[in-house]
Amino acid sequence: MGRKKGLDNRKMVVIFSVLASNPDGLWLRRLAKESALSPATVSHYLNTALKSLIEEVSLGEGDKKTLLRVIKLKPFVFEKLQEGKDINEILKLLKLIEKIG
């Protein structure tokens, strides 16, 4: 029996909690190290499931390799966290907003 298809909620929560504890943002490799996941896994989750929750700044030249990728949560997410919402409620709300808009 192999791994289940799809994204792992545990990994999503780990990445989210590391980002929530660093409001100024982290570069991709540091985020991967603090979440104890590979940089490729973190990058995959940031580009798919967590894309609507994050802001990112990439430093480097256009078609060349990116030198530095800094990721942080959107201010909207911090507001919802202060209201006591968890990651699943925030994701549901953002999906609803995307469907409307």
| Mean pLDDT confidence for 79-84 | 90
Domain span at residue 56?
A: 9-74
How far apart, in whole angstroms, are the C-alpha atoms of residue 47 and residue 22?
19
How many domains in the chain?
1
DSSP annotation of 3 reads P
Stated pTM of the model:
0.82
Residue 18 is predicted with a pLDDT of 95
CB under 8 Å to 19, separation ≥6 — which residues?
25, 26, 31, 54, 71, 72, 73
Residue 100 lies in a domain: no
Residue 13 lies in a domain: yes
Residue 23 is predicted with a pLDDT of 92
Q: What is the pLDDT of residues 49-77, one digit of tens each?
A: 888 889 988 877 666 777 788 999 999 88
Q: What CATH code is carried by the domain that includes residue 32?
A: 1.10.10.10
Residue 83 lies in a domain: no
Average pLDDT, the chain: 86
